[in-house]
């Protein structure tokens, strides 16, 4: 699978759950067979500061960085054209 497409799918899942900034979702909820390159994608998205990793005492969580909201949505729409105009 295309790595950029997988990144877009991960970020779209976070958007669907409205996980921006301090509102996050547990990392373990993404560990499925659907994302083969999950660790690599998260590492790259975190390095680009599009995804924030929250290290909690009992779990690790993910959220999207609100400072890059426009770029994030643009990236998802580029990788998944069928979502153009759907994401807010």
CATH of domain 3-83: 1.10.10.10
Q: Is the pTM of this model over 0.85?
A: yes
CA distance 81 to 76: 8
Is residue 29 helix, strand or coil? Answer: helix
Domain residues of the chain, as ranges?
Answer: 3-83
Tokens 């998944």 locate to 80
Both tokens of 23, joined, read 């509102």
Question: Per-10-residue mean pLDDT for the chain, 88 residues long?
Answer: 92 96 93 88 96 96 96 96 89
């Amino acid at each position: 699978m295309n790595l950029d497409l997988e990144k877009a799918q991960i970020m779209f899942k976070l958007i669907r759950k409205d996980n921006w900034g301090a509102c996050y979702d547990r990392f373990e909820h993404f560990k499925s067979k659907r994302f083969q390159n999950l660790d690599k994608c998260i590492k790259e998205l975190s390095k680009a500061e599009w995804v924030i990793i929250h290290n909690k005492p009992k779990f690790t969580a993910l959220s999207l960085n609100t400072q890059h909201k426009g770029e994030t949505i643009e990236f998802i729409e580029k990788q998944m054209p069928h979502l153009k105009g759907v994401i807010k």
